[in-house]
Structure 1
Amino acid sequence: MRWILPLLMVLAACNTPGPHFRGLPATTVTVDGSTFDVRVRGRLAEALRTNMEYAPRFGPIRQRAAMAMEIVSGCKVKEVRGDQALATGILDCGKGGPAIDRSLPHDELSCYTLDSYISPATGELVLDVDCTPI
């Protein structure tokens, strides 16, 4: 019976943002089959992958996470660190604002927003984005 509380704590932490991003609203973005909760604070963005994928490698996930961060932040992503579940990106917003065209946020993919709405359950903005290789 003692193991129930620790088990519940571990399961509750599976979809929790890092300490620097706690308390910030998340924007949900799907890029090429990977769904991320993206949070932005200053020059950093965090992409928390929330969908199940069989044996994902970080290479493809890194590119999708970077794209999700670019879509939400409006800035270029200089570098992505982390792993398949939680990635942190360093943003380059240039001088005075967004540095990218949101219709083509990455050299290899073309994306557009299919739908956006406020989730009735969480009150957060949800974006459904469709991306195709160029």
Structure 2
Amino acid sequence: MRWAILVLTVLAGCDSPGFGFSAAEVTRSDAGGHAFSLRRSGDVVQAIRTNFVRRPDINLIGRDAELAIERTYGCRVTKMRGDVALMVAQLDCEGAPRDGDWARWVKPRRSLASCLGYISSGQAGRRKEIDLVCF
């Protein structure tokens, strides 16, 4: 009985949102034969692959995740980071997605937390805005 509870607990965590995405609504999307759970927080989207893949290839899964994100939100993906199970994408909603224009992959750093976002300043440097999502 203990093993059944442990297995159910582990499986329940497979599609759980990361830090910064817990309040985000989940959207299910498919692309290229892969299923993803997408959660958006501002201009950042977390994509969790939810289907089983034998010998996954990050290049194929990454492109499929990017397509799923662009189709779902209608924004262009500019940066991506992650692995075959969990990816995080930076969106640019001012530009429409274009065929053949793939996002730049960011090599993950070894740290306890990762953040994506942008910093903008207003006219003559008077107003500054920082929008970060950490996970």
TM-score by length of 2: 0.65
Alpha carbons 1:78, 1:89 under 8 Å: kept:
yes
Query: In the aligned structure 1, how far is the partner of 2:50 from the partner of 2:3?
Result: 25
Query: In the aligned structure 1, how far is the partner of 2:51 from the partner of 2:91?
Result: 24
| Identity across matched positions, percent | 36
1:80 counterpart residue number: 80
Q: CA deviation at 1:20?
A: 1.4
**Which structure has the bigger radius of gyration?**
2
> What is the total number of aligned residue pairs between the two structures?
101
Among 96, 103, 106, the alignment partner of 1:100 is 96
Structure 1: give runs of 5+ residues left out of the alignment.
109-134
Q: CA deviation at 1:2?
A: 5.1
Alpha carbons 2:15, 2:37 under 8 Å: kept:
no
CA RMSD of aligned residues (A): 1.9
Query: In the aligned structure 1, how far is the partner of 2:5 from the partner of 2:34?
Result: 31
**Higher relative contact order at CA 8 Å, sep ≥6: structure 1 or structure 2?**
1
Alpha carbons 1:67, 1:106 under 8 Å: kept:
no
Query: In the aligned structure 1, how far is the partner of 2:32 from the partner of 2:2?
Result: 42
Q: CA deviation at 1:49?
A: 0.8
Query: In the aligned structure 1, how far is the partner of 2:13 from the partner of 2:30?
Result: 21
